Amino acid sequence: MQRKVNVVGAGNAGLMAAKTIARYGIDVTIYDQKQKPGYPIRASGIVSANGLSRLGVNCSKALTNSLSGARIHAGNSVLEVKAKAPVAKVLDRGILNEICMDEAASEGVSIITGRKLSASELMAISKNDIIIGADGAVSEVATTFRMGAVKRYVLTYRVEYNTEPQDTESVDIYLDNSISPGLFSWVCPNGKDVLEVGVGVSSLHGNSKRAFDRFISHYGITEIISGAKIISEGASIIPIGLRQKIADDKNHVLLAGDAAGQTKASTGGGIVFGSQGGIMAGEAVADHMIHGSRLSSYESRFRRKNRMDLAMHSMISRAYRSLSEREMGMVIRMLNKAGAGRILGDYGDMDRPTEIIKRFILRRKIVA
Ligand SMILES: Cc1cc2nc3c(=O)[nH]c(=O)nc-3n(C[C@H](O)[C@H](O)[C@H](O)COP(=O)(O)OP(=O)(O)OC[C@H]3O[C@@H](n4cnc5c(N)ncnc54)[C@H](O)[C@@H]3O)c2cc1C
């Protein structure tokens, strides 16, 4: 009897995994505890234009803004990155999820919403069938099958205001370990009349709402948002660093997306990275069902493909987490002197720092 494939969690990672499997003509069912997966919206939707094109999802209906620049603030200094054309897209996360659900359904995926799978159900399913755990940062699948821990967690608080951003083309990032240790704070124009403000702090340093209040008062954001209507607000969590184990041959379990810790350590971004993880998990399951290959080939392939970029994101994150505000200001001034703003603007693919370095080296060789 052919094994069934069950995906737990209809976020972007689970939907990409299920869609990939269905394309091989294999029956796959995806479960989500929410009646309407993707809502309420708890996360931002900034993705690199390159990364988005790699996913092959038509996101035009979810697009709320295009960004061509970023200002990175640290200790009274600012690094301005400006590209000639938009390099990042801002997506409405709810609509993005709806698009991914429609695409999965049209490939033949069975989608069951409003259904939470418990630990005992997961254990029972794994006796005969395959499970892909794409059930987010606090993954029941990972806990049930003892897949180890992710490296660390970042707690977030974000608010969307109905107000006209002063600059609709650039996002502002604030590196300040006295306010947002572990990540950063941000102000992003989500559209022509929507401004998003958010903070991320290491879970070791506690309360993200308190950090948010300190951020908006310290950096004068309170005046910018004064009187503006709140569209959405809330706290959430981002896992950082790959989980110890993301595939288990014995129990036929794979993890993808936040459940696997597939986010970039430097920014916490997981839409592109986690979706790619979902696609790779889906391919490994199809390969297993069709050719009998080991499910754990997914883990080795994922680690091999992303080794360099994962290491670079960790290095960048470690650097800004360990520096004081004054030291970070010095680094920004040095980067400004070296013309980093222009180089990042020309070559910046925020998902693949190794590509930026390759292109930078190539450019130096050509100039030399
Ligand atoms: C504030 C914030 C800002 C962010 N900004 C960005 C950004 O700008 N760009 C970017 O790329 N990334 C960003 N991220 C990260 C990004 O949101 C995540 O990496 C991504 O959403 C992970 O997708 P996922 O499919 O793995 O998990 P999720 O989207 O969390 O989906 C998991 C699904 O599993 C379901 N589920 C959970 N348990 C069960 C169960 N037992 N049974 C059934 N269903 C279950 C849940 O209901 C949920 O729908 C941000 C995150 C946060 C918190």
CA of 363 to the centre of ligand 1 (A): 37
Confidence of residue 357 (pLDDT cuts 50, 70, 90): low
State whether the beta carbon of 77 lies less than 6 angstroms from ligand 1. no
State whether the beta carbon of 261 lies less than 6 angstroms from ligand 1. no
pLDDT of residue 359: 62
State whether the beta carbon of 269 lies less than 6 angstroms from ligand 1. yes
Q: Dump pLDDT digits (tens) for 48-107.
A: 998 999 899 999 999 999 999 999 999 889 999 999 889 999 999 999 999 999 999 999
State whether the beta carbon of 31 lies less than 6 angstroms from ligand 1. yes
More confident residue, 205 or 72: 72
More confident residue, 343 or 154: 154
Give the 3-state DSSP-derived string for 78-103, with helices as H, strands as E and coil as C: EEEEECCCCCEEEECHHHHHHHHHHH
Q: Rounded mean pLDDT of 14-26?
A: 98
CA of 92 to the centre of ligand 1 (A): 13
Looking at the CA of residue 90, tell me the nearest atom of ligand 1: 8
pLDDT of residue 203: 94
Q: How many CA atoms lie within 13 A of 311 on its CB side?
A: 7
Q: How many CA atoms lie within 13 A of 304 on its CB side?
A: 7
Q: Rounded mean pLDDT of 276-290?
A: 97
CA of 11 to the centre of ligand 1 (A): 6
CA of 366 to the centre of ligand 1 (A): 42
Residue linked to tokens 């993808």: 256
For ligand 1, atom 29: residue with the closest CA: 11
C-alpha to C-alpha distance for 270 and 277, rounded to whole angstroms: 10
Q: Dump pLDDT digits (tens) for 106-150.
A: 999 999 999 999 999 999 999 999 999 999 999 999 999 999 999
pLDDT of residue 324: 86
Beta-sheet pairing, 170-174 with 130-133? unpaired
CA of 84 to the centre of ligand 1 (A): 31
More confident residue, 304 or 328: 304
Answer whether 182's CB lies under 8 Å from 40's CB.
no
State whether the beta carbon of 246 lies less than 6 angstroms from ligand 1. no
For ligand 1, atom 51: residue with the closest CA: 43
More confident residue, 310 or 354: 310
State whether the beta carbon of 270 lies less than 6 angstroms from ligand 1. yes
**Pocket residue to mutate for ligand 1, from 135, 173, 313, most atoms within 8 A of Cβ:** 135
State whether the beta carbon of 12 lies less than 6 angstroms from ligand 1. yes
C-alpha to C-alpha distance for 342 and 53, rounded to whole angstroms: 23
pLDDT of residue 206: 80
Q: Which pair of tokens denotes residue 159? A: 């608010």
Q: Which pair of tokens denotes residue 334? A: 């040095």
Q: Which pair of tokens denotes residue 27? A: 């029956």
CA of 362 to the centre of ligand 1 (A): 36
pLDDT of residue 100: 98
State whether the beta carbon of 14 lies less than 6 angstroms from ligand 1. yes
State whether the beta carbon of 51 lies less than 6 angstroms from ligand 1. no
Least confident of 149-153, 163-167, 200-204, 345-349: 345-349
CA of 231 to the centre of ligand 1 (A): 20
State whether the beta carbon of 179 lies less than 6 angstroms from ligand 1. no
Q: Which pair of tokens denotes residue 216? A: 């908006």
Can you give the C-alpha Rg of the chain in angstroms?
Answer: 21
Beta-sheet pairing, 5-8 with 69-74? unpaired
Answer whether 81's CB lies under 8 Å from 345's CB.
yes
Least confident of 35-39, 125-129, 353-357: 353-357
pLDDT of residue 361: 60
pLDDT at 238 over 80: yes
State whether the beta carbon of 158 lies less than 6 angstroms from ligand 1. yes
DSSP, collapsed to helix, strand or coil, labels residue 334 as: helix
Least confident of 43-57, 149-163, 212-226, 320-334: 320-334
DSSP, collapsed to helix, strand or coil, labels residue 116 as: coil
**Pocket residue to mutate for ligand 1, from 67, 100, 271, most atoms within 8 A of Cβ:** 271
C-alpha to C-alpha distance for 109 and 21, rounded to whole angstroms: 9
Partners of residue 196 on adjacent β-strands: 160, 188
Domains of the chain and CATH, by start: 5-64+91-151+241-316 (3.50.50.60), 153-239 (3.30.9.10)
Cis peptide before 40 (omega within 30 of 0): yes
Residue 127: its H or E element: helix 119-128
Cα 36 to Cα 15, 40, 60, 215, 273: the distances in Å are: 14, 8, 21, 32, 23
Answer whether 171's CB lies under 8 Å from 46's CB.
yes
